[in-house]
Amino acid sequence: MHLHWKLLSFSIAVHLAVVVFPVDPVHAQQLARAVTIGANPPGSAFYSLAGGLSKVVTEAAPFQMVVQPYTGSSTFLPLLNTGELDFGVVNGVETNLSYQGPARFKAGGRNPFPHTPNTRLVMRGTPLLVGMLVKKDSPFKSVHDIKGKRVTGEYPAQLAVWYTMYSLLTTAGLSWSDVKVIPVPGANEGVDALVQDRADVASGALNIAKVREADAAVGVRHLSADCSPEGDKRVRKAVPGAYTRIVKAGTALAVVEDTCVVVNDIYLSTHRAAVDQVVASVLKAIWDNVEKLSPLHPMFKEWTRERAVDPDVTIPYHPAAMQFYKERRLWSAKMDEAQRKLLALNP
């Protein structure tokens, strides 16, 4: 009898486990208490943005959003593509390269990104503004002065940073062969190289913690790229998805005079198999509470509803996001055409 009850209890326990913890990944995600959002390392712009998004989503959605930092987006993009990671903060240049894949598309003569045909867009967010960074007492006045100088490069852990620095050089008609490349793994290490006097020029997103740290340590300023019509044309042609913008003196950390920077749009992305209800819940949480983002970080100032939908994005929208925007009458015939063209790249 005792053995009979043990066997019966075991059978019930197994049955309950199957009911409560279904093995089907779709149901598992629907019942999940948390979702993950991939980001670059602490101190980076993307980490700050992921932290702000996770806070707002956790407060408003029926589940938590947990930030998962990686050495760079090139590390977590394959995980996002397979669905091992639920969401990610990425930029439009790297998604263009990874979504199309190295066999189809290259910029700057290369595409080291893994092919990620399953990535999907949830919301186009704020523009990422990145400028060259030098010590405050540097003699350089603009990008045109750095030919032959020590410039941080390679960025194997953060492939997107290679393209950002390449974009900044391109505005002046320069390339990597015109400077002395100082190899660094990622953007943070590049700033460290500048502080430690191993490099003359690094790159850094505006208002990030790492630039603030460098400014406190040695004093730094952003060096102007070339925002002339010719400079902007050069960068748009060389790195599709990138463009230039003038930042007024004093409106950002380490911007001591009107400064030309390079811009990439930041995306909140997911994967093709992400459950519609989860995607819609995340998007609604951000949409309904977007005004709560701005106080969390200066970069959220331009993370707005108005920027969420745009035909010039580089990956297709997730179906749940598309439906969300259609319900709010923000999805136009032009968006349908853009979506069709992007989906056709990876049938």
pLDDT (tens digit per residue) in 271-295: 999 999 999 999 999 999 999 999 9
- Torsion, CA 283, CA 285, CA 289, CA 294, rounded to 10: -60
Please give the model's pTM, rounded to 2 decimal places.
Answer: 0.80
CATH code of 175's domain: 3.40.190.10
Angle (CA) 11 17 22, round 5° = 130
Per the structure, the complete domain to which residue 331 belongs is given by: 2-127+266-345
| CB atoms closer than 10 angstroms to residue 8 | 10
Q: Which of 264, 297, 318 lies at the terminal end of a domain, its last residue?
A: 264
Domain end residue (candidates: 264, 296, 320): 264
Asked whether residue 133 carries a pLDDT value surpassing 50, the answer given is yes
Shared domain for 200 and 323, answered yes or no, is no
Q: Indicate whether 229 and 136 sit together in one domain.
A: yes
Residues 122 and 210 occupy one common structural domain = no
Per the structure, the count of domains in the chain is: 2
Residue 241 and residue 192 share a domain? yes
Query: Both 22 and 45 in a single domain?
Result: yes
Specify the pLDDT at position 60. 96
Same-domain check for residues 137 and 240? yes
Residues 103 and 56 in one domain: yes
Residues 80 and 206 in one domain: no
Residues 122 and 270 in one domain: yes
If asked whether residues 149 and 217 sit together in one domain, one would say yes
Query: Which pLDDT tens digit goes with each residue over 170-180?
Result: 999 999 999 99
Per-residue pLDDT of 204-258, as tens digits, reads 999 888 999 999 999 999 999 999 999 999 999 999 889 999 999 999 999 999 9
The CA–CA distances, whole Å, from 164 to 107, 159, 186, 219 equal 11, 9, 12, 22
